[in-house]
């Protein structure tokens, strides 16, 4: 039992503090826990065969009964993608989300047939106030690049924590209300113990561009386009879909929406009233094939160069119905996610080779991100005037830049906590400290076969084989004596081409024979021991010869 004078407020970023993605934060006071967001992160290039990465919930094992609720700030996968995997393991606590966010979560849950428990969801409105255990929660509307995003104010016995979610200040957004500046200022005037603020664009100067500016640019491009217009963007960028619908209606063009995720999001948004579509404006892709190209706009996924997304399939001539035509204009209406630069460039090259005219955000204002630039971040700090500042949502470099911005507007350096994933922050009697203690925060990988932690030997093997390939050694051994029968067989995959390296293969075969010389004919073969001898001996031999370390897989056939 925790005594009254031992009570303290803990904030633990489970993940999302050293990457863009996998966002999840735990807030704990005595025996009450709330969680903010539960996202996924997409894999890096060396994570072969991994679909995505989710938070590590090791700290919450044994504390499931203390979880009073999970608050979701908005419907992007880096904030909701971990829900199907984690919620059942946490005892199915109530999820609190706005109307659109809830619909996206519930639709995605249907894709996980093996999850039998129905989600326990509660729809919130930005004007709602709720109580979860000791915590009193209120919300404020923010602008992002998906509607219905909220920030969260958590009133605790130690003071008020303010979590911005992903935000920008857009004074002329599309199809939604502007950020609730007045409510944020009121919360700031009441006193903020700690501000947790989005750091994604902490190196971008100025203010974020309004969606109204993007609409004006798209209007000019579409008005002047000599043929069909293809717009690649994020599947959840509903404001961009709405802008394109408005422009298409103005110039009497029809729209095709291609890509499962974009079709799904658009259907949900239209059903809930977040997307307003004139009757007959959206048509099927097959219908567009017989139309004048000047009357068609195609909105699709794939602007990040994803292998199976629509834009890549069009570029590779793998789409069932669509191919680049003369006079096509392709608009990349999204910024490039860090790590995707080379892939996106190859996609642009392929489209250009086919004759498309390419427009992207570095040439014209065809995209604005959903994250505030430096002046937006300063504005949030000045509105809230927090005692402590914690940058969130970004790699370490961006977190540090954001902390520097906070210092520039008057937050003392000692009150700016640049934390690692899993690092514990504590607040007691109005004072905070960033502890050296950490909770489990390692990667949990998800692929088609399930989940595994960052120490998973399967992933290490994949990385090993991708770097240096593999060599299979097949040896037939007499069981009773351990004597080698015949010549060992050698199979190479991704290491060397056998026909061009016959000398090396013969030397390797001779080395295997020497390793398997039977020193005691009376002793039966020990398969485990023989495999280890081959693995170690051949591995060392090949490195001396080639300076490569292929994975050596010994196969012993007992005869």
pLDDT digits (tens, 9 = 90+) for 494-507: 787 767 788 888 88
Cβ atoms of 168 and 370 closer than 8 Å: yes
Task: Write down the pLDDT at residue 449.
Answer: 53
Q: Is 171 a catalytic residue?
A: no
Burial class (CB in 10 A: 0-12, 13-18, 19+), 328: buried
Give residue 375's region: left, alpha or beta (phi > 0; psi -120 to 50): alpha
CB count within 10 Å of CB 487 equals 14
Q: Is 198 a catalytic residue?
A: yes
Residues of the chain with pLDDT under 50: 1-4
> Strand 67-71's sheet: what is its strand order?
121-123, 95-97, 67-71, 32-36, 24-29, 9-15, 423-428, 431-438
Cβ atoms of 52 and 38 closer than 8 Å: no
Task: Write down the pLDDT at residue 1.
Answer: 42
CA neighbor of 77 nearest in space, from 104, 48, 116, 51: 104
Question: Looking at 37, 78, 166, 198, which residue is catalytic?
Answer: 198
Q: Is 267 helix (H, G, I), strand (E, B) or coil?
A: helix
Task: Write down the pLDDT at residue 546.
Answer: 83
Q: Is 359 helix (H, G, I), strand (E, B) or coil?
A: strand
| Cα gap 166→146, rounded to integer Å | 10
CA neighbor of 197 nearest in space, from 12, 412, 371, 441: 371
Continuous segment of H or E residues that includes residue 342: helix 341-353
Cβ atoms of 287 and 126 closer than 8 Å: no
Continuous segment of H or E residues that includes residue 528: helix 527-546
The alpha carbons of the chain give a radius of gyration, in whole angstroms, of: 28
Task: Write down the pLDDT at residue 2.
Answer: 45
What lies within 8 Å, CB to CB, of 448 at 6+ separation is 51
Instruction: Please give the DSSP secondary-structure letter assigned to residue 206.
Output: S
Task: Write down the pLDDT at residue 458.
Answer: 59
> Which pTM does this prediction carry?
0.80
**Where are the extended beta strands (E) located within 382-465?**
388-392, 423-428, 431-438, 444-447, 450-453
CA torsion sign for 433, 434, 435, 437 is: positive
| Cα gap 120→130, rounded to integer Å | 16
CB count within 10 Å of CB 510 equals 13
Query: C-alpha angle with apex 497: 492 to 502, nearest 5 degrees?
Result: 95
Question: Looking at 79, 371, 373, 402, which residue is catalytic?
Answer: 371
Task: Write down the pLDDT at residue 405.
Answer: 97
Q: Is 111 helix (H, G, I), strand (E, B) or coil?
A: coil
CA neighbor of 459 nearest in space, from 85, 123, 46: 46
CB count within 10 Å of CB 557 equals 11
| Cα gap 472→486, rounded to integer Å | 16
Cβ atoms of 40 and 78 closer than 8 Å: yes
Task: Write down the pLDDT at residue 282.
Answer: 95
For 378-392, letters b (16+ CB in 10 Å) and e give bbbbebbebbbbbbb
CA neighbor of 151 nearest in space, from 192, 178, 184, 173: 184
Give residue 345's region: left, alpha or beta (phi > 0; psi -120 to 50): alpha
């Amino acid at each position: 039992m925790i005594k009254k004078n031992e009570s303290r407020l803990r904030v633990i970023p489970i993940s999302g503090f050293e990457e863009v993605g996998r966002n999840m934060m735990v807030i704990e006071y005595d025996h009450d826990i709330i969680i903010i967001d539960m996202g996924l992160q997409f894999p890096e290039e060396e994570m072969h065969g991994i679909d995505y990465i989710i938070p590590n919930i090791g700290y919450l094992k044994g504390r499931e009964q203390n979880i009073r609720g999970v608050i979701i700030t908005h419907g992007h996968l880096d904030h909701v993608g971990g829900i199907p995997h984690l919620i059942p393991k946490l005892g199915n606590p109530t999820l609190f989300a706005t109307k659109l966010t809830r619909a996206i979560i519930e639709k995605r849950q249907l894709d996980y047939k093996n999850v039998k428990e129905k989600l326990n969801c509660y729809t919130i409105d930005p004007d709602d106030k709720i109580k979860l255990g000791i915590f009193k929660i209120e919300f404020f509307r923010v602008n992002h690049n998906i509607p219905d995003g909220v920030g969260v104010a958590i009133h605790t016995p130690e003071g008020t924590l303010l979590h911005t979610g992903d935000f920008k200040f857009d004074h002329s957004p599309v199809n939604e209300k502007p950020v609730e500046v007045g409510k944020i200022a009121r919360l700031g005037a009441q006193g903020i113990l700690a501000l947790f603020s989005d750091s994604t664009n902490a190196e971008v100067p100025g203010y974020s561009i309004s969606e109204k500016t993007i609409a004006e640019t798209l209007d000019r491009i579409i008005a002047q386009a000599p043929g069909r217009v293809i717009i690649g963007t994020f599947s959840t960028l509903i404001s961009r879909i709405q802008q394109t619908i408005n422009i298409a209606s103005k110039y009497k063009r029809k729209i095709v929406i291609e890509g499962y995720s974009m079709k799904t999001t658009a259907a949900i948004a239209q059903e809930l009233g977040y997307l307003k579509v004139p009757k007959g404006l959206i048509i099927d892709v097959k219908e567009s094939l017989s139309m004048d190209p000047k009357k068609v706009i195609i909105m699709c996924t794939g602007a990040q160069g994803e292998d199976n997304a629509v834009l890549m399939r069009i570029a590779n001539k793998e789409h069932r119905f669509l191919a680049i035509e003369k006079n096509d204009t392709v608009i990349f209406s999204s910024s490039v996610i860090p790590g995707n630069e080379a892939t996106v460039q190859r996609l642009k090259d392929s489209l250009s080779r086919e004759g498309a005219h390419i427009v992207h955000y570095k040439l014209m204002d065809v995209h604005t991100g959903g994250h505030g630039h430096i002046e937006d971040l300063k504005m949030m700090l000045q509105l809230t005037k927090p005692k402590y500042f914690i940058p969130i949502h970004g790699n370490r470099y961006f977190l540090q830049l954001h902390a520097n911005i906070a210092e520039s507007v008057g937050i003392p350096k000692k009150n700016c906590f640049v934390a690692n994933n899993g690092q514990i922050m504590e607040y007691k009697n109005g004072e905070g400290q960033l502890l050296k203690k950490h909770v489990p925060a390692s990667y949990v990988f998800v692929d088609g076969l399930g989940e595994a932690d960052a120490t998973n030997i399967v992933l290490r093997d994949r990385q090993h084989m991708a770097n240096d390939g593999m060599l299979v050694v097949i040896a037939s051994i007499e069981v009773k004596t351990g004597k080698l029968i015949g010549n060992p067989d050698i199979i190479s995959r991704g290491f060397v081409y056998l026909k061009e390296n016959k000398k090396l293969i013969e030397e390797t075969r001779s080395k295997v024979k020497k390793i398997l010389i039977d020193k005691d004919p009376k002793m039966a073969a020990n398969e485990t021991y023989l495999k280890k001898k081959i693995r170690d001996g051949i591995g060392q031999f090949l490195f001396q010869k080639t300076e490569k370390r292929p994975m050596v897989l010994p196969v012993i056939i007992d005869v």
